[in-house]
Amino acid sequence: MRMLIALLLLLTLPARADMQLTRELVAPDTLVPGQPVRVAYTFWTDSWFNPAPTWPELPVSGGEVLSLPIATQLVSRREGGKSWSGIRMERLIATWDSGQLHLPAAEVTLTSAGQAPHTVALAPLNRPVHWPKGTRQPDRFLPAADLKLTQQIIPHATRPGDNTLRVGDAIDRRVTLEGAGVLPAAIPQLLYAIPGNETQLLPRNNQRLQTPRGDFTGARRVETLRYLPSRPGSVVIPPLTLRWWDSAHQRWRVDTLPGKTLTIAPAPATGKERVLQAGNHTFWPALSGWLVGALALLLGLYLLRHRLSTRLTGIRRRWQGFWQILPLPGLAPTGTASEHAARPPQRLFSPPPARQRAG
């Protein structure tokens, strides 16, 4: 009996699992507005006989919890002579103004297999938030761990194969910004359409950058400004300068895209406008062509007059012969009316011969 009880206790030891919870703020000592930081909750257990962890309440003061996806991680550690396995769950938090990011103290109740529920106390977490020195325009402040700025000048000519830009054509300036650790809402507008300046701002495209596992890493913004020249001359595309805050090295950086000047030629003339602009000299080549064609036709008719006359005569005779009345023999009446009345009536069809009966 004692051996049986000892065996049962040995089998139930793995089911008596312990469980812990830790919380940390993955962020530098000082934050800037618009910089995303991560808060991580790790559920530790010395056994897998535990219910799946769920997100506790996450109260935040001075910031906003974002709904951007972050992949869950499996971690491990060794503490107190035991091996612990954990599930690390993270969320993004962003601050939009200077002040204090504060995560208050919290108590979370954990339930382990084979044990009574116990409460874990989480210490408060704080980070100061300040505008960096040299901030000129807070509404255009852009923090990023890394940033890449590129552009494309795309001409749209109406004539295929013609590289000359003319009045009525279009020119697109497409600017692409890719930033690591950048929130899409923090990217300022890059291009502007000035009223009366023959420009048109096309809809912009925002995309999230993420790893193959679905972990958020940054954002991409694509903006396109279209130039629509209405008179010949030149279109000047100005250079673009972006000043942004390098949150990885805590310094200001400036990226510049070069400008470009494009020459615009007059629009090609079309239809009646082309005839009027070309002058009267364009009428004589067309008239001379018609005259040459008419003379060639008359000369051909003169050389073929005998053959054509013979052919027309034969056609006329055939036509007359086709409409000539031909009498049908045996049907046309001959003689006088009295003679015709005295004749016995003739049958057009004779009856078939009578069949003879076999003797």
- What SS3 state is found at 224? strand
Domain range annotation of the chain: 2-129, 138-264
Percentage with pLDDT > 70 across the chain: 78
- What SS3 state is found at 94? strand
Q: Could you tell me which residues are beta bridge partners of residue 79?
A: 82
pLDDT of residue 355: 56
Q: Under 8 Å CB-to-CB from 340, ≥6 apart: which residues?
A: 333
Q: Under 8 Å CB-to-CB from 108, ≥6 apart: which residues?
A: 21, 56, 119, 120, 122
What is the DSSP secondary structure assignment for residue 354, as one 8-state letter? P
- CATH, range 2-129: 2.60.40
pLDDT of residue 1: 54
What is the DSSP secondary structure assignment for residue 2, as one 8-state letter? H
Q: Which helix H or strand E contains 149, and what residues bound it? A: strand 146-156
Task: Look at 71-75, 206-210, 228-232 and tell me which has the smallest mean pLDDT.
Answer: 71-75
Least Cα distance to 215 among 318, 333, 88, 47 occurs for: 88
Number of other CB atoms surrounding residue 58 within 10 Å: 13
Q: What is the pLDDT of residues 310-339, one digit of tens each?
A: 888 888 888 887 787 777 666 555 555 555
pTM (2 decimals)? Answer: 0.65
One-character DSSP codes across 232-301: SEEEEE--EEEEEEETTTTEEEEEEE--EEEEEBPPPP-THHHHHHH-GGGHHHHHHHHHHHHHHHHHHH
Side chain identity, residue 348? L
Radius of gyration over every alpha carbon of the chain, rounded to an integer in angstroms: 49
- pLDDT band at 2; cut points 50, 70, 90: low
Q: Which helix H or strand E contains 7, and what residues bound it? A: helix 2-12
Q: Supply 179's token pair.
A: 């930033």
Q: What is the pLDDT of residues 81-129, one digit of tens each?
A: 788 888 888 889 998 899 999 999 988 887 766 667 778 888 999 999 9
pLDDT of residue 343: 57
- Pairing mode, if any, of strands 143-144 and 240-246? parallel
Residue 347 pLDDT exceeds 70: no
CB 130 within 8 A of CB 116: no
Distances (CA, A) of 72 to 53, 108, 111: 11, 20, 20
Residue 356 pLDDT exceeds 70: no
pLDDT of residue 81: 78
Least Cα distance to 263 among 122, 155, 145, 127 occurs for: 155
Q: What is the pLDDT of residues 263-278, one digit of tens each?
A: 989 887 665 555 445 5
Distance CA 183, CA 55 (A): 23
